[in-house]
Each structure stands twice: as C-alpha cells, then as structure tokens.
Amino acid sequence: MSTTVTPPAGIERFTAAEDTANIDRLFGARVRRKEDPRFLTGRGQYTDDVRVTGTLHAAFVRSPHPHARIRNIDLTAAGAHPGVVAVYVGKDLADAGVNGIPVGWLLPGLKPSNHHAIAVDEVRYVGEAVAVIIADSAYAARDAAELAVVDYDPLPAVADAEQALAQGAPVVRDSAADNVSFRWEIGDSAATAAAFANATTVVRQRLVNQRLIPVAIEPRACLATYVRATDELTLWVTSQSPHVHRLIMGAFVLGVPEHKFRVISPDVGGGFGSKVFIYTEEVAVAWIARTLERPVRWTAERRESFMTDSHGRDHITDAEMAFDASGRIVGLRVKTLANLGAHLTLFAPAIPTYLYGTLLSGQYRIPAIHAQVTGVFTHTTPVDAYRGAGRPEACYLIERMVDLGARQLGLDPAELRRQNFIPPNAFPYLTPVALQYDSGNYEPALDRALAMADYKSFRAQQERLRQQGRYVGIGLSSYIEACGLAPSQVVGQLGSQAGLYESAIVRVYPTGKVTVFTGSHQQGQGHETTFAQIVGDRLGIGIDDVDIVHGDTGRVQFGMGTYGSRSGSVGGTAIALSLDKIVEKSKKIAAHMLEAAPEDIELTDGRFHVRGSPDRSKGFADISLAAYLAHSLPAGIEPGLEATSFFDPPNFTYPFGTHIAMVEVDADTGQVTLERYIAVDDVGNVINPMIVDGQLHGGIAQGVAQALWEGAEYDDNAQLLTGSLMNYGLPKAHQLPFFELDRTVTPSPVNPLGIKGVGEAGAIASPAAVANAVMDALSPFGIAHLDMPLTAPKVWQAIQKSREAGAKAGGSSATTGR
C-alpha cells in the first residue's frame, strides 16, 4: 500500500459518516476526524474552559534568579491587596506534609532531586515559584503578585552541562556535589575498543543537540475542587496521562487516597511530552483547593510556559564511528553529557539512557557499540521527554556520523547507508545495545525516497548550480525508532516505576451503540476517530455509533496515557482485544438465536450469519438487544455486552524510513531555504492515512525547526534568553514546503493490528536530514559540520571563515557568482 499526497482542498465536509459511506474497510480509510468540527469551530472543552462557580485564581511569584538563597519573603502588601484570599510560601506546603515531586525512573546510583511545589530556602532556575497568591480574580492575583517582596541572596549559576562538570562549578544541590545525577553506559567497551583498533577509517565529531522548548498551543492549566462532605478532590489538568497524575500526586505528593481523587484531563491542545509530567503548579493548586475548600485555578501565561514547561534534548556528545576498508561500519563510540536541568522530572533519567543509548545502532549492522551518558544537573528548567525523547538525539548522531563517514571515505551517502543496512532476512535483529528489532526492510524505503528526489539528476543539477555560485544540498536520514512503549516487564527491569500496558473497556449498549473507555489520551492525535475506526471495522458499524472516552479517572478504569507513539499499538490493541471478546460472545448469542453452532457463525459486513447461509443472519444491534433483554440467552452466558482488556506488548515496535531534505543556501547571507522535503516511512499498518500524514507533517515541521531555527539559549548567568515567541524560532507554515510523503508497510509482529506508531517519526528523522542537506550544500566551502540550529549568521560566518582561509592560502575556495 502506498499513499500519494494531494494538495489540501479545504474543508468541504464535516461529518465523518459521509467520508465512510463508500469505503470497503474502515481500518485503513482516510476518514476525516470526528473531533475536528468542535476544534475548528471553537467548541473544544479545554481545562481553561471548565467553569466552576466561586473559583479563585492563583498567581505564582517566580524567581528572576537562576540560583539564589531565599532570605525572606514578605507577602504583607500582597496579602492586603483587594481580592486576595490567601498567600503561601514553600514552607507552608512542606510543613503541611506536601512532598516534592518524585522521579518515576530510577537508574543505579541515581542522585534524585526534591522538587518542591514552591521552592523552600533555595531557587535553582529562573521561573521557579517562590510564593503563590490566591485571589478572587486572575487580575487581582497578578496585581498582588507584583507586591511580593522577596529578599534573594543571588548565588553563582551554571547552565551548560560541560561547565557544570568543571572544577569549582556552582553546585546545584549538595547531594550531588559534582552535579552528576547519574553515570550510565551500554554496549561492550572492550569489543568497541578492539573494533576501533582494527578500523581503517575513524570519523570523530563533537555534536551538540541543542535544548528545545515544547510550546504546546494550549498552555498548561489546572483547576481543583474539593468537597469536604465526601472528601473528594477533583483536578482538571492538562495531562497526557491522568491516571499517572492521580497515582503519583495522590500517593506520593499530596497523600490523598486514590479512590477519593479524580483527575480529569479534557481536550488537550498539544503536549509533545511536556504534559506527561507532574508539575509544581498542579500540586500547589490541588493542595490549596483542599486547604481552602474553594475551587482554585491557574493557567500558564506564555512566558511561564517558556520558563517552566519541561524542555527537551540538550546533549553534548563526542561521537566516533569506525569503518573498515570496504566502508562497513565496524564500531561506534559515544560519550554524551545530558543536561537534566535543576530537577529530575518524571521520566527524565530514562530519556538520555534507555530511549537514546539503545537506539544507537540505527538501521545499521554495527558489530560493536559503546555509549556512556552522564546526567548533569544545571541551573536551568528541567529537561525531560520532548517529541521523540532520546530517539531524535540518537538518530541525529548516527545519521550525521554516517554522512561524515561518507565524506571522509569519498563514498555516496545513500550507498554507504545501503551497504550497512541490516538485511531484511536478519529480523528479528538483536543490536549490540540491547534492543531486538521486530521487523524491517530498509532498502525499499531508501529506494523510494531516492526515486522521489530524483537523486541522480539532483547531483548533476547541483554541480551545474555550483558553477553559477548557487549552493544546493541534499540530505538523507534513514531513521529507526523504538515506540509502542512498552513491555512492562522489560521497563521494570530497567528502572521504570510503572508498567506500560494499556487498558480498554468496550461497552455495547442495547441499541448497538458503543462507548470505548481507553487509558490512552489525546493531545491532537485524533484517537476519537482512529479508535472508532478500529471498532467500526471489527463490528461492522459506523464510526458515528462509537464514542471514545478518555482522560478522566472517574470514567476510565486505568491507563498509562499517551506518549512514546504508543496509543495505536498499545491502546488500540487493548481495544481490539476487547472487541475480540465482544465478537466471541456475540457469536454465541447469534448461534443461539439462529439455532446454529457458535463455530459456524461468521461476521461479515456487520451481520452475524451461519456459514454458507448468508440469509440466516442477525445484525449487531439484534445481538446487543438480545444480550440486554436476556429473555433467551445460551446456557452459561451472562446478560450484557461489555469487555475489558489490558494489553502489555511483548516488545517495542520499530518504525523506520528514509527522509530526504533538499535545501539551498544563500551564500551571501547564510540563509537556508528548505526547497523540498520527502519522507518515506514504514509505520506498519495504517489505521487512517490522513491522520498518519498529519502526524508526520507536524513532526517534520518540528524537526526542521530544530535544524534551522529553534534553540533555547541561556546566557553565562543562566538567564533564559529565548523566553518568548519573539525570539524562540517556532516554525511557521509559510517557512515550509509542501511535504512529499510515501510509505512502505511492514506490519509489526508484536501486536495483532500490525501497527508500529507514527507520533514521533517526523521529529526523529528530520533534523538529521536537514542538517545533512545543509552540510552537503556547504561542502564546496570545506565545511563538514555545524551545530544546530543552522541559523543564517552561523552559516554565513562559516562560509566567511572558509573564504578567508581560501584567500590566505591563495586557493580557490568557492565564491559567489551573484
């Protein structure tokens, strides 16, 4: 199966039913999203849209210092401001027994942090809360917050991981005096050393994978209510995983019984990982609502989002790749400093270790790999999972190193990749970094991408343009990712404090309508449509007869939430397993009604019929009605039609593909224009091609932005310089070409739906593709590597340096002809 892209035709129709009227199978159909009418017409119900009478508003007083001791906080004037109901400092919460936020993934020897909801005694990053004002309006709360008088004793601070490890660097916390939270390694050090000793060519490069800021369109928000009479606490919060929120906040932070604590996460406007974690504001708001017995709410301002949403990436890596004389990769050695920020958030230790080091084999058969990762505390915003979470860092590293290798060896980068691919007959393939790839066939995706790019013609054209002083480049990225997180037993052995299965209840009503209660959630993924397609496809009913309920611990049994491209493969499979149970019971009921043996009943086009007798049949609604009437059920069959399943996958899934970026560099100014972007992905079976395309578009846009524009910058005093949309280079539609997508399909064997997952693929593959393209364009200048983002000044300066060196040497460094 392959899809081609047609330009967007505008939104002519709204109802999903119309889209599905003439299709053979719902699974695999390009169905318009059921949720879009409400989003596109402003009727979404986000946390900030929830209204509760008598709600109070919270405003946080935040540290302007990256590191300081708090000498005193005077809230007298703030507390006296009209409309203010209460004011709190960190000690108030700590004294009341509110614990710091724990880390959910432990590594051997890990030095944890204790992230108080409101800082006690010391602040460790700019934006850390030091007090909270509760008032009867958001305006009064902010006005009063300006009246808070905080006496700080500013201390030296460090933002850079390398500098944080230097002798005499400012210390983030005394429990880790060397600023090291953990040291971790994977692979075979001795075998890798031997491989390097025998190699004919070694490429070495220091690579900085810069810090990114997620910037979901909906800022983080929360609203808490408490009813003393029933001791029930309810928290509406922008969460990707409300059950995890409830478990950790209830059991570990607030000490609230789980069955008296409801977490509701209604529509969520983008997360990219940043809404997985438990945040301090949510803890404070929930505790205050319980303390005051009044509803309390908070919604982040955009500048608060920049300072306090978990950041992503931020690696400094020394990488070495070794080749033999024939161009085979024989070894990879990696040393990475991972900047963790000032505190460890929920998954922080897992991201630069098990989601990074284990992916360092890429699509290649590399006999020996060794990676060491040092997790470093700095006086910066905490760093955790951000779209791809460790895997983009791994992909960028491998794909840059392969390109550098190709350049050093004088080989074509596409052919070097092909030569080193794990062959299709080697699957399941065990890498030297602990993963067993489920399935793969890498050459067809590469070939298709090269054909779409017309690679050979491009190379000829490139040469002609260079003669005219124009610099175009092409870059490949053959990526792999591990998603469908994850086998609980495996992650448990690796330090996860939770399992990573998913649950689903499929509830059929007497009239044959269906509600699915899923532990997955959505922040834009379109599950209300794709999950309904799974149900409609299996039961032979329309997707408008299926509702998906998620994001509410009061309605959904349990769930691990949505991240790590896991919802289709894990959450979707849990639904499919429940559907199997529904079908099995339905067949028994149908057999009873049709006076046939259950094993002779077949389900075709939404009707249960006797094999060989299509006219002897019952519709799904006939069965459901019979199940609930219970006037005549087969012996041993209970009334009702509902099934519960928990699916724990036996392995990760491994989507892969090849992306190609084509760029032109303006040598006069250093500006890079992305001219074309081609992506051939293999995400296994596809439930809804339109939604998969959309996921890829968004991910590619984010990755292109990392390559060209985005990057959190701190100054030497650890002040965040890129704290707003005025200076943080979020991608805009007009900066991007229309993406050209195609797919190959290699179904995953680890789940019955054959799904691999797609949520992160675009963001994983694209930074390397774009960076490789820019470096290809710059090759006439002898520029082998520049760190992202490849901003115009950075590129221009590199070109200038090359030209000046060329001029000095009297050589013929490339010059502009324009």
Q: Footprint of another protein on residues 140-179 (CB under 8 A)? A: 142-143, 146
Q: Footprint of another protein on residues 374-393 (CB under 8 A)? A: none
Residue 51 or 818 with smaller CB distance to another protein = 818
What is the three-state SS of 348-417? HHHCCCCCCHHHCCCCECCCCEEEEEEEEECCCCCECCCCCCCHHHHHHHHHHHHHHHHHHHCCCHHHHH
| Percent composition of the chain: helix, strand, coil (DSSP 3-state, to 5) | 35, 25, 40
Pairing state between β 739-743 and 672-682: parallel
Residue 547 or 666 with smaller CB distance to another protein = 666
Alpha carbon distances (Å) from 772 to 251, 606, 659, 738: 47, 50, 11, 19
Question: Of these, 291, 372, 671, 717, which contacts another protein (CB under 8 A)?
Answer: 671
CB of 727 to another protein, least distance (A): 5
For residue 488, the tally of other CB atoms under 10 A from its CB is 17
* Only segment of 136-144, 196-204, 450-458, 764-772 that touches another protein (CB under 8 A): 136-144
For the sheet with 471-480, list strands across it: 471-480, 656-665, 672-682, 739-743
Length, in residues, of the chain: 818
Residue 231 or 668 with smaller CB distance to another protein = 668
By rule CB under 8 A, what count of residues binds another protein?
Answer: 28
At what angle are helices 455-467 and 442-453 packed, to 10 degrees? Answer: 40
Residue 460 or 725 with smaller CB distance to another protein = 725
User: Do you find a cis peptide bond into 731, omega within 30 degrees of 0?
Assistant: no
- What φ, ψ does residue 135 adopt, rounded to 5°? -140, 170
Question: What mask, x for binding another protein by CB under 8 A, covers residues 244 to 283?
Answer: ----------------------------------------
Q: Footprint of another protein on residues 515-554 (CB under 8 A)? A: none
What tokens were used for 306? Answer: 């920049």
Please answer whether residues 529 and 34 qualify as being in contact, where contact means their C-beta atoms are separated by less than 8 angstroms: yes
**Angle subtended at Cα 783 by Cα 779 and Cα 786, rounded to the nearest 5 degrees:** 120
What tokens were used for 358? Answer: 């284990």
Distance from first CA to last CA of the chain, Å, rounded?
Answer: 46
CB of 380 to another protein, least distance (A): 20
Asked if residue 669 binds another protein (CB under 8 A), the reply is: yes
CB of 732 to another protein, least distance (A): 7
* Only segment of 242-250, 468-476, 514-522, 724-732 that touches another protein (CB under 8 A): 724-732
* Only segment of 115-123, 466-474, 485-493, 721-729 that touches another protein (CB under 8 A): 721-729
Question: Of these, 9, 325, 726, 809, which contacts another protein (CB under 8 A)?
Answer: 726
**E strands of 251-295, at which residues?**
261-264
CB of 301 to another protein, least distance (A): 4
Residue 303 or 335 with smaller CB distance to another protein = 303
What tokens were used for 626? Answer: 């019979």
Question: Of these, 5, 451, 730, 807, which contacts another protein (CB under 8 A)?
Answer: 730
Asked if residue 807 binds another protein (CB under 8 A), the reply is: no
DSSP secondary-structure letter at 753? T
* Only segment of 123-131, 316-324, 668-676, 780-788 that touches another protein (CB under 8 A): 668-676
Cα separation of 3 and 693, whole Å? 9
CB of 704 to another protein, least distance (A): 11
Residue 441 or 735 with smaller CB distance to another protein = 735
Residue 644 or 735 with smaller CB distance to another protein = 735
CB of 297 to another protein, least distance (A): 13
Question: Three-state SS for 725?
Answer: coil
Cα separation of 287 and 506, whole Å? 35
Asked if residue 719 binds another protein (CB under 8 A), the reply is: no
Asked if residue 732 binds another protein (CB under 8 A), the reply is: yes
CB of 296 to another protein, least distance (A): 16
Asked if residue 735 binds another protein (CB under 8 A), the reply is: yes
Q: Footprint of another protein on residues 64-93 (CB under 8 A)? A: none
Q: Footprint of another protein on residues 556-575 (CB under 8 A)? A: none
What tokens were used for 20? Answer: 């599905």
Question: Of these, 708, 720, 775, 798, which contacts another protein (CB under 8 A)?
Answer: 708
What tokens were used for 676? Answer: 């074309």
Reference 349, options 176, 551, 122, 190; nearest CA is 176
Question: Of these, 38, 71, 206, 302, which contacts another protein (CB under 8 A)?
Answer: 302
Q: Footprint of another protein on residues 785-804 (CB under 8 A)? A: 791-793, 796-797, 800
* Only segment of 134-142, 388-396, 498-506, 765-773 that touches another protein (CB under 8 A): 134-142
Alpha carbon distances (Å) from 276 to 252, 263, 270: 16, 13, 11
For residue 288, the tally of other CB atoms under 10 A from its CB is 24
CB of 721 to another protein, least distance (A): 10
Counting beta carbons within 10 angstroms of the beta carbon of residue 733, is it exposed (0 to 12), middle (13 to 18) or buried (19 or more)?
exposed
Residue 779 or 791 with smaller CB distance to another protein = 791
Question: Three-state SS for 32?
Answer: coil
Residues binding another protein (CB under 8 A): 138-139, 142-143, 146, 301-303, 668-671, 708-709, 725-730, 732, 735, 791-793, 796-797, 800
